[in-house]
């Protein structure tokens, strides 16, 4: 049931994280991207640091339930044999499983655009990573507010101040 | 800043409403008239000093409210938080709802719009007080700049800024425009609670006068030119779907606009009146795919729950010490099983929603506890960008948790509106649809066992819950190890000092949709727990109040409110013949509550609740009048459920349909309620739900004292209370 | 809708880039939900979706539980010749599915 690459990702994360972080601070605010997403990005790009741009990720600014949120991905690319999008990866900052989907394209795609519907477990940032035929990598992201999650969000119940032991 | 059409109209409405002190919504004027009025209004309205506070040239203040007023008093209480720091004259304050469109356009500047979980005050007090403090600082700075003096030499009170040494004064209104141009300071230090002048004072509520005179326009009151009405029938068995609806049988009747089939429902849209649509709906031949759930009954559900009790193992929610050893060594063992049924919210205003799609924009009126969710859902269903969705925020006729999480009526109304383009549609659920298509307080069965040693000290406590999980239905990823963290409340966080504890949670999910009913798990779990503690006290031969005191020795806040209530109820004093007492204590939603009930039971078994003393420690109290009303409101809501509340299932569907078989308590049954507000400070707890928690056990414990009969299931109507 | 539906334009001209829209009926069970007695329902999602155009793979998607139930995916490809689009998928339980659509490609005028 586990997807292959999980342990490989952990390994990669450990080995490449320092490289990645220094690259990030040059081009993207590392603080914007959670650690576990950074590790997934590194694994996908094979260590190449992504730049911001070229990737347009369209999601509604606000979704009611997070059960089915329409997503449009567009990558700026001529999609010719010389220059095309090889793959697009979608990551969620807060879902229990951070990888949402990976799409594999080629020059015959003609246009680097994919539409789908995703699940979001609460308000969060969604990331889209495009890897080009020249191995360059581009990152886009957008935030979605999920209103229903707020209802049951354990916006921490007042912590009891009494010392009585409990779980 | 007042350029958008929607804001202008709202500004007009607020302006005219300001005179009467209320808030009028739901009235629509032709465009040309609107534009003219809006221009006039825009001129009269003062600038935003911050997004939350507008200060008008005539010194009146407009404070914006992000959450929804549903009778709990937030429409007044939240502005009080801002006004305290703002140092304005409260008599000059009016409140209006923040525009959802503006909120989204300005990056959710009004933060959380969800109203529920007794959170409005406790979640927003800090940022609201900071907003008030920031606005005050800006006004003072503007005045100081005008005078050419350091702002530190100026103070503000009652809407007037004074320069200490020169004694020059200026009113807020005169410096508002200048203040609005300044940067908003972040993190202005807030007053200490001892400096509060407004918070803690009883204040007349903004919403009440219009509600009393019938002026308040609820969503269900929406009137628009050309309005058409929709009545809906939903599949009677949960999970079933629509098979067919013979629209041709009614579509040629006069006034019928459309029949709109959906996955599990069908709506009839008619001109003239909702009654007309409803009558046509009754004549529409409908076939349902009822599905397997049509076999489910309350009896089969009980059997299913029992399986949870008898299952060999269940996930452990709490464990301390060694209960097996303790039970082996026990001198006395008490064992009991408790049960509570499904409950429906029965909001006075039934589910309804008006949606108007026109020219690529959509307006929606809905009794929603979360106007942001209303906007998001409307945008999703109509496929119109949320920036073009206008939510007309209104006071709602009761919420209780029914309309924060699930906005099924909004989804339906938007779907229907799409089917009748260009026409505003008002969907209303009949009371029958409302009762039978709720999101119910889940059913629960609990077995408990406890041990006393030779000196009557409690040594062990075992709990096995068979419980329906709300999280599994709405947010499954929140469940860890098979345990619904809300479902175990009052048990896993019980403050009683038992040396050996084992609590187990057997999730048992039926096809009946669960939802948060006012106080959620703090409705039945305290009944189970506090009645069982009482059973232990009786077996130990001890006074139930003293028995609890010893076990709560380290739980200072629970003990504090318990003591306050026992004192107010004169627990030590003898009662008149025929009157008996019961007590209970419970914490919920960040607050601590306790209750003493005094009851008498006639020889015929008629219960009379003579007196209820209910204590609440919510840390702070913003508007004591409002909090008292909330405690009393909890008594009405809670007592109704205790006396009569029961939703039963037959052939997969809810048997009850209206107030004849799902009755509300009557005024004559309302006992005398004494509210003991005992805020100890230092924390912010909720007030809307906690007071419900100790009611059922206090009353049932009193009934035991009166009759010798132990009540282990609700509602009381099933019990013969003649002496055991 | 039976198990799946593919939508392509009725007719295409040579070299035209067109959208293929796929909708599959599948619960995309996340593995986080619990059944009626509180046991975790095992994860079962469509994890692979491929599209072959006259036998040549033109699109591949790896899907995870974060994709909504009844997954909808649309992508683009170039009209090279008349023939058949074949969309195939596999889920965690080993079930497979296939749906086909004809494409008519007219020579560019």
Tokens, residue C63: 């899907």
Q: Which 3 state secondary structure label does DSSP give B511? A: coil
Task: Output phi, psi for B207, to 5 deg.
Answer: -85, -20
Mean pLDDT of the region C41-57: 97
C41 touching A (Cβ < 8 Å): no
Domain annotation for chain A: domains and CATH numbers? 8-149 (2.60.40.2470)
CB distance B376 to A63 below 8 Å: yes
A157 touching B (Cβ < 8 Å): yes
Q: Mean pLDDT lowest for which of A152-161, B498-507, B593-602?
A: A152-161
Q: Which 3 state secondary structure label does DSSP give B378? A: helix
Nearest CA in chain C to A72: C74
Q: If pLDDT is split at 50, 70 and 90, which confidence band does B429 have? A: very high
Residue A16 has pLDDT above 90, yes or no: no
Residue B26 has pLDDT above 50, yes or no: no
In this complex, do A150 and B114 lie within 8 Å of one another by their Cβ atoms? Answer: yes
The region, left, alpha or beta by phi > 0 then psi within -120 to 50, assigned to residue B325 is: alpha
- Among B477, B507, B510, whose Cβ lies nearest the Cβ of C38? B507
In this complex, do A62 and B372 lie within 8 Å of one another by their Cβ atoms? Answer: yes
Q: If pLDDT is split at 50, 70 and 90, which confidence band does A131 have? A: very high
Beta bridge partners of B461: B450, B501
Mean pLDDT of the region B281-295: 97
Secondary structure of C1-31 as H, E, C letters: CCCEEEECCCCEECCCEEEEEEEECCCCECC
> What are the chain A neighbours of C66 within 8 Å (beta carbons)?
90, 92, 95, 97, 99-101, 118-120
Chains sharing 3 or more CB pairs under 8 A with chain C: A, B
Closest approach of C39 to chain A, Cα-based (Å) = 16
- Among C30, C32, C37, whose Cβ lies nearest the Cβ of B507? C37
CB distance B438 to B402 below 8 Å: yes
Mean pLDDT of the region B567-580: 97
Q: Pairing mode, if any, of strands C105-106 and B48-50?
A: unpaired
> What are the chain C neighbours of B506 within 8 Å (beta carbons)?
37-38
Q: If pLDDT is split at 50, 70 and 90, which confidence band does A30 have? A: low
Residue B40 has pLDDT above 90, yes or no: no
Mean pLDDT for chain B overall:
93
Mean pLDDT of the region B480-501: 96
Distance CA A51, CA A130 (A): 10
Q: How many residues does chain A have?
A: 167
Residue A26 has pLDDT above 60, yes or no: no
- Which of A95, A122, A148 to mutate: most B Cβ within 10 Å? A148
Residue C108 has pLDDT above 90, yes or no: no
| Percentage, residues of chain C above pLDDT 90 | 94
The answer to whether the Cα torsion of B251, B253, B258, B261 is positive or negative is negative
Q: What is the pLDDT of residue B546?
A: 97
Distance CA B655, CA B640 (A): 18
Mean pLDDT of the region B233-244: 98
Q: What is the pLDDT of residue B723?
A: 75
Alpha helix stretches (DSSP H) within B224-370: 274-282, 298-310, 323-328
Angle in degrees, 0-180, between the axes of helices B544-551 and B556-568, rounded to the nearest 10: 160
> What are the chain C neighbours of B508 within 8 Å (beta carbons)?
36-38
Distance CA A12, CA A6 (A): 10
Q: What is the pLDDT of residue A21?
A: 37
Residue C14 has pLDDT above 50, yes or no: yes
Q: What is the pLDDT of residue B187?
A: 86
Q: What is the DSSP string of B607-623?
A: EEEEEEEEEEE-S--S-
Q: What is the pLDDT of residue A25?
A: 30
Q: What is the pLDDT of residue B382?
A: 97
Tokens, residue B714: 């609700």
Q: What is the pLDDT of residue B46?
A: 79
Q: Per residue in B688-723, pLDDT tens?
A: 999 999 999 999 999 999 999 999 999 999 999 987
Tokens, residue A17: 């994280």
- Among C30, C32, C34, whose Cβ lies nearest the Cβ of B509? C34
In this complex, do A148 and B471 lie within 8 Å of one another by their Cβ atoms? Answer: no
Q: What is the DSSP string of B197-263?
A: SSTTS----SSHHHHHHT----GGG---TT-EEEEEEE-SSTT-EEEEE-GGGTTTSTTEEEEEE-S
Q: If pLDDT is split at 50, 70 and 90, which confidence band does B652 have? A: very high
In this complex, do C76 and A99 lie within 8 Å of one another by their Cβ atoms? Answer: no
Q: If pLDDT is split at 50, 70 and 90, which confidence band does B98 have? A: very high
In this complex, do A96 and B317 lie within 8 Å of one another by their Cβ atoms? Answer: no
Closest residue by Cα to residue B323 from B169, B238, B199, B449: B449
- H or E element: which one contains A44? helix A35-45
Nearest CA in chain C to B473: C33
- Which of C66, C72, C76, C87 to mutate: most A Cβ within 10 Å? C66
**Would you tell me which residues 19-58 of chain C have a C-beta closer than 8 angstroms to some C-beta of chain B?**
30, 32-40
- Among C32, C36, C40, whose Cβ lies nearest the Cβ of B509? C36
Q: What is the pLDDT of residue B346?
A: 97
Q: Per residue in B179-228, pLDDT tens?
A: 999 999 998 999 999 999 999 999 999 999 999 999 999 999 999 999 99
Residue B508 has pLDDT above 70, yes or no: yes
Beta bridge partners of B581: B598
pTM above 0.80, yes or no: yes
Mean pLDDT of the region B88-98: 97
Q: Per residue in B243-265, pLDDT tens?
A: 999 999 999 999 999 999 999 99
In this complex, do A67 and C31 lie within 8 Å of one another by their Cβ atoms? Answer: no
Q: Per residue in B357-392, pLDDT tens?
A: 999 999 999 999 999 999 999 999 999 999 999 999
In this complex, do A160 and B380 lie within 8 Å of one another by their Cβ atoms? Answer: no
- Among A147, A152, A157, whose Cβ lies nearest the Cβ of B474? A152
> What are the chain C neighbours of B474 within 8 Å (beta carbons)?
none
> What are the chain A neighbours of C74 within 8 Å (beta carbons)?
114-116
Q: What does CATH list as the number for C3-30+42-106? A: 2.60.40.10
Q: Per residue in B127-140, pLDDT tens?
A: 999 999 999 999 99
Distance CA A7, CA B10 (A): 57
Contact pairs from chain A to chain B, CB under 8 Å: 102
């Amino acid at each position: 049931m586990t997807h292959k690459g999980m342990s490989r990702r952990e390994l990669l994360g450990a080995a490449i994280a320092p490289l990645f972080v220094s690259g990030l601070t040059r081009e993207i605010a590392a603080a914007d991207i959670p650690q576990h997403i950074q590790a997934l990005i590194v694994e996908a790009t094979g260590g190449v640091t992504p730049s911001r741009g070229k990737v347009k990720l369209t999601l509604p600014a606000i979704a009611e339930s997070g059960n089915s949120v329409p997503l449009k991905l567009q990558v700026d690319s001529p999609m010719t044999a010389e220059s095309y999008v090889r793959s697009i990866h979608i990551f969620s900052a807060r879902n229990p499983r951070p990888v949402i989907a990976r799409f594999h394209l080629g020059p015959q795609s003609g246009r680097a655009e994919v539409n789908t519907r995703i699940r979001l477990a609460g308000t969060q940032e969604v990331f889209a990573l495009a890897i080009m035929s020249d191995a360059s990598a581009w990152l886009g992201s957008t935030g979605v507010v999920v209103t229903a999650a707020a209802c049951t969000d354990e916006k921490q119940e007042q912590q009891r101040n009494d010392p009585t032991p409990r779980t | 800043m007042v350029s958008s059409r929607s804001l202008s109209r709202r500004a007009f409405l607020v302006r005219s409403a300001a005179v009467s002190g209320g808030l009028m919504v739901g009235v629509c004027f032709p465009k040309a008239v609107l534009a003219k009025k809006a221009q006039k209004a825009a001129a009269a309205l003062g600038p935003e000093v911050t997004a939350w506070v507008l200060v008008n040239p005539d010194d009146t203040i407009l404070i914006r409210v992000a959450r929804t007023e549903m009778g709990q008093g937030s429409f007044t209480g939240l502005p009080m938080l801002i006004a305290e720091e703002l140092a304005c004259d409260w008599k000059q304050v009016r409140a209006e709802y923040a525009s959802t469109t503006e909120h989204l356009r300005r990056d959710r500047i009004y933060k959380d719009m969800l109203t529920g979980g007794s959170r409005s005050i406790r979640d927003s007090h800090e940022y609201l007080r900071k907003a008030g403090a920031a606005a005050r600082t800006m006004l003072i700075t503007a005045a100081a700049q005008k005078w050419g003096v350091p702002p530190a030499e100026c103070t503000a009170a009652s809407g007037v800024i004074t320069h200490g040494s020169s004694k020059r004064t200026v009113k807020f209104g005169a410096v508002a425009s200048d203040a609005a141009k300044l940067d908003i300071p972040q993190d202005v230090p807030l007053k200490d609670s001892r400096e509060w002048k407004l918070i803690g004072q009883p204040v007349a509520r903004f919403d009440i006068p219009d509600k009393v005179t019938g002026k308040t326009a609820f969503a269900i009151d929406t009137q628009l030119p050309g309005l058409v009405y929709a009545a809906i029938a939903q599949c009677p068995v949960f999970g079933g779907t629509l098979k067919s609806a013979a629209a041709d049988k009614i579509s040629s009747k006069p006034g019928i606009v459309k029949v709109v089939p959906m996955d599990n429902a069908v709506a009839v849209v008619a001109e003239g009146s909702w009654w007309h649509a409803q009558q046509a709906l009754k004549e529409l031949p409908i076939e349902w795919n009822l599905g397997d759930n049509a076999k489910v009954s309350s009896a089969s559900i009980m059997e299913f729950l029992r399986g949870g009790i008898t299952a060999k193992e269940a996930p452990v929610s709490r464990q301390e010490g060694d209960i097996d050893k303790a039970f082996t060594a026990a001198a006395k063992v008490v064992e009991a099983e408790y049960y509570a049924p499904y409950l429906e919210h029965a909001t006075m205003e039934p589910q309804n929603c008006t949606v108007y799609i026109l020219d690529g924009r959509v307006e929606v009126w809905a009794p929603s506890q979360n106007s942001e969710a209303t906007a998001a859902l409307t945008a999703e269903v109509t496929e119109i960008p949320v920036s073009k969705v206008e939510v007309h925020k209104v006071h709602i006729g009761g919420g209780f948790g029914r309309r924060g999480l699930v906005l099924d009526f909004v989804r339906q109304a938007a779907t229907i509106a799409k089917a009748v383009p260009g026409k505003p549609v008002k969907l209303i659920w009949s009371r029958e649809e409302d009762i039978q298509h709720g999101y119910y307080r889940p059913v629960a069965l609990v077995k408990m066992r406890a041990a006393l040693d030779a000196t009557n000290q409690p040594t062990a406590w075992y709990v096995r819950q068979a419980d329906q999980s709300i999280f599994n239905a709405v947010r499954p990823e929140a469940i860890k190890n098979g345990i619904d963290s809300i479902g175990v409340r009052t048990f896993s966080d019980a403050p009683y000092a038992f040396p050996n504890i084992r609590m187990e949670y057997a999730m048992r999910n039926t096809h009946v949709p669960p939802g948060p009913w006012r106080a959620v798990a703090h409705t039945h779990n305290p009944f189970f727990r506090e009645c069982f503690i009482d059973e232990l006290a009786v077996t130990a031969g001890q006074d139930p109040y003293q028995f609890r005191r010893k076990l709560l020795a380290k739980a200072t806040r629970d003990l504090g409110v318990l003591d306050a209530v026992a004192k107010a109820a004169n627990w030590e004093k003898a009662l008149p013949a025929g009157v008996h007492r019961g007590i209970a204590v419970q914490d919920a939603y960040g607050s601590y509550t306790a209750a003493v009930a005094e009851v008498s039971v006639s020889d015929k078994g008629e219960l009379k609740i003579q007196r209820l003393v209910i204590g609440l420690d919510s840390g702070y109290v913003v508007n004591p009048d409002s909090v008292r009303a909330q405690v009393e409101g909890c008594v009405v809501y809670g007592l109704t459920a205790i006396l009569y509340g029961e939703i039963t299932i037959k052939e997969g569907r809810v048997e009850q349909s209206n107030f004849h078989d799902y009755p509300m308590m009557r005024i004559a049954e309302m006992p005398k309620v004494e509210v003991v507000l005992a805020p100890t400070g230092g924390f912010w707890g909720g007030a809307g739900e906690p007071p419900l928690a100790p009611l059922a056990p206090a009353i049932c414990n009193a009934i035991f004292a009166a009759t010798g009969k132990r009540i282990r299931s609700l509602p009381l109507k099933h019990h013969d209370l003649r002496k055991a | 809708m039976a198990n799946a539906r593919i939508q392509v334009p009725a007719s295409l001209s040579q070299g035209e880039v067109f959208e293929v829209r796929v909708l599959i009926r599948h619960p995309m069970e996340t593995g986080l939900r619990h059944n009626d007695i509180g046991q975790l329902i095992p994860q079962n999602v469509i994890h692979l979706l491929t599209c072959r155009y006259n036998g040549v793979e033109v699109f591949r998607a790896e899907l995870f539980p974060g994709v909504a139930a009844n997954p909808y995916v649309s992508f683009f490809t170039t009209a090279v010749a008349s023939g058949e689009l074949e969309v195939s998928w596999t889920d965690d339980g080993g079930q497979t599915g296939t749906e086909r659509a004809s494409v008519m490609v007219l020579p560019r005028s």
